[in-house]
Amino acid sequence: MAEEPEIWFAETPAGVEYAKELCGDCPFRSICLEGALERREPWGVWGGELFDAGRVIPRKRPRGRPRKHPIPA
């Protein structure tokens, strides 16, 4: 993809989700993910997954304090 490198290291949850979507049709997705796991990438989106401290996490939390009471879905 001819995207800006910063996209893969987004600071916002929406930016991370956008980067993950870009990986959806990439033919190198599994190779990218395997390599990131081997290298224990410290952060960023690799192979459609979000890394933090060398491990895959489900989503990026927004900045600030967590809510005391969750918002009903």
pLDDT for the residue numbered 4: 86
DSSP state of 8: G
b/e sequence 35-47, b meaning 16+ C-beta within 10 Å:
ebbeeebeebbbb
12-55: pLDDT as tens digits: 999 999 999 999 999 999 999 999 999 999 999 999 999 999 99
pTM confidence score? 0.75
Q: For the chain, give every domain's residue range.
A: 5-57
CA separation for the pair 15, 66 (Å, rounded): 19
Residue 3 has pLDDT above 80, yes or no: no
